[in-house]
Every structure is written in C-alpha cells, then in structure tokens.
Chain A
Amino acid sequence: MFKEFKFFPEQASTLAGEVDLLFYFLIAVSVFFSSLIFFLIYVFAVRYRRRSEDEKPQQIPGMLKLELAWSIIPLILTMIVFVWGATIYFDSYTPPKDAMEVYVVGKQWMWHIQHPTGQREINELHIPVNQPVKLTMATEDVIHSFYVPAFRVKKDVVPGRYTTMWFEATKTGEFHLFCAEYCGTKHSAMIGKVVVQEPAAYQDWLSGGTQNEPLEVIGEKKFQQFACQTCHADKPNSRGPSLVGIFGESIKLQNGQSVVVDEEYIRESVLEPNSKVAAGYKPVMPTFKGQVSEVSLLQITAYIKSLAKGGSN
C-alpha cells in the first residue's frame, strides 16, 4: 500500500529544479525563524518562570533598535524571495520560439487534447522529452486548471478566453495530470497522465493507431462546414478580409487601432465578430456563439495559422 514514502515530488521538467531550490531556501529561512522564536520562548519560559506570586519583574516598555531590526531584516529577506520568485514566474511565462504546440480543451470532467498532427487524446498527453511544449487551452464550461505536479506547472483554463502555459520535460515516464480548480461533481476524476517519451518512441506513437488527419485539414473542413469561405475568400471584393498570411501579423482596425492576429483575436472574431472589425470592412459578420465548440474553434484556428505559413505572401 505504501510503496513510496517521499517528501518531495519528482523533478521532471526544466522548471522543477528551480522551483524546488527556492522552496528549499524558504524552508531554510522558515526553520531558522521558527526555531529562533520557539527557542526563545522555551528559554524565557524556563528561565523566567514565576517562582513566587509577588514577584515584581523589571518593566521594559520596548526598544526602538530591536523593533527596527526585526522589521528591516525580514523586509530584506522577503524582498530577496520576491525577486527570486518573480524571476522564476516571468521565465516560466514566455514559451521559447521552438515550442511544439498542443491544444487542450477542458470540459466537465475530462481533458480533450489535440496535437497539430491531428492526434486526439482524452486525459492523456504524449510529448517528447527535452522539447518545449506550449499548451493553448480553452474550456467548454466552467473553470478548470491544468496541473502537472512533476513539472511544477499549473494554469487555470478559463471560459471566454484562451490561456497558455509551457514546459519542457526532462525525464521520460508517466506523470500525474490533475484538474486543480474545483469544477463540479467529478472534479477528482478529471485526472490523467502526461506520457513523456524519447523522440523516437514519440514518433512511433504519432504514426501509430488510426490514421489522423492533421489539425489544419480538420480545421479546413470545419471552415467550409460553417461556410466561412463564402465571405473570407482569398480574392478581391470579398465581404470579409482574406485570412491568408495574416496570422501573427498586425492588422489595422476600423477604429484606427491595430491588433496582432493571434488565437485570442480569431476566437473573439468568431464569437464577437463586431467588436474588432478589420479596416475597410463592414460589421456584417454574424456571431457563431453557441454554434461552434471550443474544439472546432481551435481546429479552425490551426487552419488559419497554416494559411499564414504556406500561403501566398
């Protein structure tokens, strides 16, 4: 029953060691201060115990130097920890450019995962070792949170927007994947595993099983299924702007501002088409809210992304 009796979780990502180092430092500081307090209380408690009822202890109202010392020393220590912690947080925020992209959709009570190559998984995420992986995440219903303890990463998946996270596994093996934000009845069953493989094994996994169409091909089908191309055709005088070559670019809006076309902007344009209309076009697009699922949205996004890569520019 008790196979392992461990105090610290496995370190299986580039981030894990950094987080643990800071954690050990915090433990050291805490042990020092709590030992100091407990030791002093113990010593005073024994040494100055009441020996007779009519003792008159010497009265000491306070001492400014001491007050300053125990305000300033903790202040300096906490500021060191603040900067250290913030550095880790900032570093873990921006994914490297060569990160492999995976799309995650949470829904009560499962994780739906799509790879750019078209593989889909439920409650499992296969990734290659030593390769940065960026997740773009959405939810169909309530808030979930994607948590892999062995990687020391966690990010909420929030309805109405995309959130992203990234990590780089440093060890092969299987690691827990938990939903960390309470999401209803079967919250504790919304768990799975991250399977980290050697690149060769990962390639085998990719090519194994049923033949999958790449995500962008599925996305293209959805694009046509929702008849997007009737307006967004890549030719002059279409009712909507051409989507070729726009992903990652900055475009001008009707109101004179500009916006970078990213996942969030595409999502917003499908669900709230009139909130940021491209310059030179009329706000005539109907909303697809309630008709298109988060999964399809991510597929369509992948298609639009592929237009940027291969396209006519």
Chain B
Amino acid sequence: MSTAVFKPRPDQMGDNNEKKTSYLTAGFNIRSWLLTVDHKRIAILYLLSLTFFFFLGGMFAVLIRLELITPAGDLMQAETYNKMFTMHGVVMVFFFLIPSIPAVFGNFLVPLMIGAKDLAFPRINLLSWYLFMFGGMLGFAAIIFGGVDTGWTFYTPYSSTYANSNVILAALGAFFAGFSSILTGLNFIATIHKMRAPGMTWFRMPLFIWAHYATSIIQILGTPVVAITIILVALERLFHIGIFDPKLGGDPILFQHLFWFYSHPAVYIMILPSMGVISEVITCFSKKKIFGYEFIAFSSLGIAVLGFLVWGHHMYTSGQSIYVSLVFSVLTFLVAIPSAIKVFNWTATLYKGSVSYDAPMLYAIGFIGLFTIGGLTGVFLATLGVNVHVHDTYFIVAHFHYIMVGGAIMGYMAALHFWWPKITGRLYPEVWARVASFVIFFGFHLTFFPQFIVGYLGMPRRYHAYPEEFQIWNILSSAGASILGLGYLIPLIYFIWSLKYGERASANPWNAKGLEWEKADSPPTQFNFDKTPIVDQEVYDY
C-alpha cells in the first residue's frame, strides 16, 4: 500500500505528537466540528443530523397511523394526509435510509477497518455532509412551506403538471442529498482501493467493507440518473418543456423507467450496508470465522450488479410490454438468490459457535428474522401473476417496510449498539438495550404483518379513507406502531444517558477481531492508529 497515506495533512502537522488525544477531545469549539475533516467527526455530524430526520419522518408515520385507526378520513383532510405519507417517504428514504449506515458507520469505520488514517478525500467528505444538510434543509423548507403531496415516487404527470405543492423544493432536496451520496461512494471506492494497510488484502477485508464497496458502486452509477430525472421534472414543471406529460408531447412511463432505474438499486444502497453490519456482529458474538466468506462477499457484488437490471418489476401493471415484464421478472428472481445465500451463511455461522446474546446480536438475529420475511415476500412480488393483484396495495407497503425498517434499520440499530463503545468510549445499559430490541421486534411485527393481510384483501396504499372491512387490520397496525415508536425512544434515552453516566469502554469490550477493535482505542485517537497497523492475520480469526 502507498506510504503517502500516513503523511499528515499540512493543517494537522502540529497535532501529530499528541497521539493519545481522542478524536472527541481534539477540539471543543463549534469550528472544530463544523470545519473538521476527520472522518470520525463527520460521522458524528451525520449521526446527529440523521437522528433528527429519523424522528421527523417518524412523526409523520405517527400521524398516518392515527388517521388510519378509523375507516373515515376524520383526523385530517385528504390533502393533509397525502402530504403526511409523501413527507414520511421523502424524509425516510432520501434523508435517513439512503445515507444511514454508509454516512455514519461507513464514514467512521471504513478507514479504521482497513488500517487507514482517514478517507482518501477528507475535504470531499466534509463537502458531502454540507451537501446533505443543504438538501435536507431544502426538504425541510418544503415541509415548512406547506409540504408536498406527490408521494415519494414523484410520478408524472401528477408531479410535473398537476400537483399544487412544493414539488420543486422537495425534489431539489433529494437532488442535493444525491450528490452527497455520490461523493461518499466515490470516497469509499478510492479509500478501499488505495489506502488499505500493509497486509490488508482484498480477502482479508471485513465483509462490512465488501458491503460498502458494493454499495458505493451503486451510489456512483445510479444516483446521477435520479439527479437527471429530477432536473427533467423541474424543466417540465417550470418551463412546460414536454418530457413526461403527453399533453406536452411527453411520455409518463419514461419517468417511471428513469425513476426506478435509480430507486430500485437505492433499496440495495439501504440494505447492503446493513448486511455488512450483520456479518460483523454474527461472527463476533459466535466467536467464529464467518461461514462462506467469499460467497457473502461476492453475493454483495452480485446484488449490486443484478440490482440494476430489475427496475421494471415496479411496472408490471403500467402497460409496459408483457415481454419486457417477463425479462424483468426472471431477473428479479435471480436477485433473490444472493440474498438467500447470505441468510443461509449467517445461520451456518452460528453452528458450533460460542453464541452470546448481547444487544447487538439480538438486533442482528432480529434482522435475519425480519429480512427473511421481507425477502420471501419479495419473491411474491417478483411473480407476474401475483404482483398484478398486490401491486400498489398494503402488501407492497408491508414488504418494503420489512426490508427497509426490518432490514436496514435493524442493521442500523445493531451497528449503533455494536460500535457505540468504540465511537463514544462509553457502554450503554445492556438490560435496557435488550429490552428495547424485543420491544422493537414485537412492535415491528404487529405494525407490518397485518398489512400483508389487508393488502392481499385489496386495500390500496395511499388511501386516506378506506372501506370498513379493513379496519381491524389497521387498528392492529396502529397499535403496533405505538409500540414500535416507544421501542425507538428507549435507545434514544439510554444512549444519551450513557454519554455522561455510562461505564467507560475498553478498547475491545466484545473481544472482537478487526483493526478497529484490536489496534485502536475507544474512542479512537485523532489519527486512528499510533502507527500504521500491519495485518498478518486472516479475517475473523477467532
């Protein structure tokens, strides 16, 4: 590996001798945070901003579930309700789920795990946070100025011609957040290629790194397409240039192709990093080498590549050619295989292990449980004949929440609990963390499982009012949502509590393998390692 990696940046030459200063105590004023180029501090900036957006998006979900307790649209007006589900989707997808694990844990851990001092482009990393915040503020402004009502999918010609809400602001928010995502991906790819410590060969890399590598490829290749699409919608909306609206000579289906060309792979941007987290946690808490390392690593790449070829499965009922649907269907079935491989390998890793049930492991097992159901129901949706009936119903809503909340957010929670001692140097109260994981798991099922049933019964999504016969399932779902909401508040409280009162964490509280545990302090020093680590062990050498 290049030795240039560890040359201190000119602006930090002076600090180089204070090696034992943790990155948290390296500076206390606001400037030292807002102008930091330290990947760990940028990760903290993301953690704070994403927590804000997560609870903002969650607030909209609360209002949606309150409205749906009764069949009549009685809590709010239809227009308000439409804005609620739109903003829930926009905030959660663009300002929480897509950045989530890569921006917080990827930023924090990629250099630590491969034995580097920082990412390849520290200043671009800071720029990506500012772009994200600018996008986030535009999205937030769209909400403050009255909201958006197009659905997070922005389907044309409704979004480009008919909607009377802040479409442009919200779409531009997603546009800028997208550039942040591209830059993060770029940074990871460069870092993983060029900055691995001596001895850190490709097949000694933790699977977390493989997952982020695959994610970065999608971010770089997919995100520009949605950026272009947003610009086209804006051109049509502002200047009436006919692109998507047939009244202006455009084609509304073109929008769906462009949108899903990004937004389907975007699902893998959300789930792949989570899978990376699960691989780390499972090995650590069963004290075992992961089963089938290469298969898990290459299944991440397989998902990234195949993920680009399946977007048309969102459009089986759109009137696209039946032969096109046929091809997309078969490719969608193929993408199920690498996901299945991962689940089987994680399960096999437990075999003959020394398995303990600390909070991160409970979240990881929860992930497997929820992701398995999410993945299998994805197979239902890939099936042409069945999809026609359940498309745009609550069945879909349930499916993608099993993937995004059950998968991506469970992974995020696992990561938070696993690396919290490393990030903050403090331990959280284990009992509360275990309790919260059960509350979340139970609340999640109660919220979303009834939606599979009510979806197959035929309840369409995005309905403000619905026929009475669907009420029982909606009541169950709303009850579950209140439990789920509570489940997310408990960690918020004990994590904040632990910052002041939590027991101090040792460098390696879990006895885990990996450079970030074995060679770095908790919290790590400003430049991660005292000297460049040399890797002479195989990965997960438990």
Give chain A's interface residues, CB within 8 Å of chain B: 1-9, 18-19, 22-23, 26, 29-30, 33-34, 37-38, 40-41, 44-45, 48-51, 55-63, 66-67, 70-71, 74-75, 78-79, 81-82, 84-90, 92-93, 108, 141-143, 145, 147, 149-150, 152-156, 158-161, 163, 176, 178-189, 191, 289-290
Interface 9-residue window, one of B107-115, B286-294, B407-415, B528-536: B286-294
| A155-B319 CB under 8 A given contacts A74-B337, A189-B465 | yes
Inside 8 A of A51's CB, which chain B residues have their CB? 354
Say which residue of B155, B456, B471 sits within 8 Å of A23 (CB atoms).
Answer: B456
**A67's contact among B295, B351, B357, by CB below 8 Å, is which?**
B295
Using Cβ atoms and an 8 Å threshold, which residues of chain B touch A180? 317, 391-393, 460
What 7 A-B pairs come out closest when comparing CB atoms?
A: A149-B458, A160-B246, A88-B385, A85-B383, A89-B384, A44-B350, A188-B463
What is the 8 Å Cβ interface bit string for chain B, positions 368-381, against chain A (1 contact, 0 not)?
11001100110110
A57 touches B354 (CB 8 A): yes
Measured CB to CB, the closest approach of chain B to A168, in angstroms, equals: 15
SS class, residues of chain B in contact with chain A: helix
Q: A67-B341, A90-B322 are in contact. List 15 more A-B contacts (CB 8 A).
A: A29-B379, A33-B376, A59-B289, A61-B292, A71-B340, A78-B337, A85-B383, A88-B385, A89-B384, A150-B458, A159-B246, A180-B392, A182-B462, A187-B78, A188-B464
Contact between chains at A23 and B372 (CB < 8 Å): no
12 A-B residue pairings within 8 Å (CB atoms): A2-B471, A9-B457, A44-B355, A48-B352, A49-B356, A67-B295, A89-B385, A152-B388, A158-B319, A161-B319, A163-B319, A185-B82
User: Do the beta carbons of B289 and A60 come within 8 Å of each other?
Assistant: yes
Select B462's contact among A3, A63, A188, beta carbons within 8 Å: A188
Per-position 1/0 for B462-500, Cβ under 8 A of A: 111111110110000000000000000000000000000
Given contacts A82-B330, A153-B388, A189-B465, whether A62 and B380 have CB atoms under 8 Å apart is no
* Contacts A78-B336, A152-B389, A183-B158 given; does A55 touch B354 at CB 8 Å: yes
Residues of A within 8 A of B333 (CB): 78-79, 81-82
- Indicate if B501 sits at the interface (CB-CB under 8 A): no
Residues of B309-350 contacting chain A, CB below 8 A: 316-319, 322, 325-326, 329-330, 333-334, 336-337, 340-341, 343-345, 347-348, 350
In the complex the two chains form, what is the Cα distance from A88 to B386 in whole Å?
A: 9
Determine if A22 and B385 form an interchain contact, defined as CB atoms under 8 angstroms apart. Answer: yes
- Give bound CA distance, A6 to B458, whole Å: 12
Contacts of B236 in A (CB 8 A): none
Rounded to whole angstroms, the CA-CA distance of A62 and B490 in the bound complex is 38
Q: Report which of B287, B318, B326, B386 forms a contact with A158, defined as CB distance below 8 A.
A: B318
Task: Choose one: A8, A37, A186; the contact of B347 (CB below 8 Å).
Answer: A37
Residues of chain B touching chain A, judged by Cβ–Cβ distance below 8 Å, are 73, 78-79, 82, 149-151, 155, 157-158, 161-163, 245-247, 250-253, 286-289, 291-295, 316-319, 322, 325-326, 329-330, 333-334, 336-337, 340-341, 343-345, 347-348, 350-357, 365, 368-369, 372-373, 376-377, 379-380, 382-389, 391-393, 453, 456-458, 460-469, 471-472, 542
> What is the CA–CA distance of A30 and B378 in the complex, to the nearest angstrom?
11
Complex: A37 Cα to B370 Cα, angstroms: 11
Chain B residues near A158 (CB, 8 Å)? Answer: 252-253, 318-319
By a CB distance below 8 angstroms, the chain A residues around B350 are 40-41, 44-45, 48
CB proximity of B439 to chain A, nearest CB, Å: 20
Kindly list chain A residues whose C-beta atoms are within 8 Å of the C-beta of B286.
48, 57
A178 to B326, CA, bound (A): 26
Cα A163 to Cα B250 with chains together (Å): 17
* A184 touching B73, Cβ below 8 Å: no
CB proximity of A207 to chain B, nearest CB, Å: 31
How far does the Cβ of B346 sit from chain A's closest Cβ, in whole Å?
Answer: 9
Q: B291–A23 contact, CB under 8 A?
A: no
A88 touches B78 (CB 8 A): no
**A75 to B334 alpha-carbon distance, docked (Å):** 7
- In the complex, the chain A residue whose C-beta lies closest to that of B81 is A188
Which residue from chain B places its CB closest to the CB of A3 in the assembled complex? Answer: B469
Given A37-B372, A62-B293, A189-B78, are A149 and B348 neighbors across the interface (CB < 8 Å)?
A: no
Report the separation of the CA atoms of residues A143 and B158 in the bound assembly, to the nearest whole angstrom.
8
Q: Write out the residue numbers on chain A whose beta carbons fall within 8 Å of the beta carbon of B365.
A: 41, 45
Q: Report the Cα distance A40→B350, complex, angstroms.
A: 9
* Bound: A176/B468 CA distance, A: 12
Bound Cα distance A8, B389 (Å)? 12
Question: A179–B317 Cα gap in the complex (Å)?
Answer: 13
Interface centre among B82, B379, B389, B461 (most CB of A within 10 A): B389
- Say whether A8 contacts B472, CB under 8 Å: no
Q: Within the complex, what minimum Cβ distance (angstroms) separates A64 from chain B?
A: 9
Q: Which of B353, B380, B458, B463 contacts A187 (CB 8 A)?
A: B463
Give the docked Cα–Cα distance between A46 and B352 (Å).
11
Known: A41-B350, A62-B293, A182-B151. Is A78-B457 also a contact (CB below 8 A)? no
Q: In the complex, are the beta carbons of B317 and A145 less than 8 A apart? A: yes
Bound: A78/B381 CA distance, A: 12
Q: Is the CB of B295 within 8 A of A62?
A: yes
**B368: A residues at CB distance < 8 A:** 37, 41
B216 to A: closest C-beta gap in Å = 25
Identify A30's interface contact among B151, B292, B354, B377, CB under 8 A. B377
A72 to chain B, nearest CB (A): 9
Measured CA separation A30–B329 after assembly (Å): 18
Chain A residues contacting B251 (CB-CB under 8 Å) are 160
* Interface pair A154/B386, CB less than 8 Å apart: no
The docked-state distance in angstroms from the alpha carbon of A61 to that of B318 is: 46
Residues of the B chain whose Cβ atoms lie less than 8 Å from the Cβ of A93: 322
Flag if A4 contacts B469 (CB, 8 Å).
Answer: yes
CA distance A93 to B326 in the complex (A): 12
Minimum CB distance partner of A34 in chain B: B372
Residues of chain A lying within 8 A (CB to CB) of residue B355: 44-45, 48-50
Contacts of A163 in B (CB 8 A): 319
B394 to chain A, nearest CB (A): 11
B158 touches A142 (CB 8 A): yes
**Distance A183 CA – B159 CA, assembled complex (angstroms):** 10
Nearest chain B residue, comparing its CB with the CB of A2? B472
How far does the alpha carbon of A9 sit from the alpha carbon of B79 in the complex, in Å? 29
Q: What B residues does A33 contact at CB under 8 A?
A: 372, 376
Choice from A5, A59, A187 contacting B472 with Cβ under 8 Å? A5
For B345, list chain A residues within 8 Å (CB). 62, 67
- Identify the closest chain A residue to B511 (Cβ): A53
Within 8 Å CB of A92, what residues of B? 385, 388
List residues of chain B with CB within 8 A of the CB of A22. Answer: 383, 385-386
Q: Is B383 within 8 A of A81, CB to CB?
A: yes
CA distance in complex: A182, B341 (Å): 36
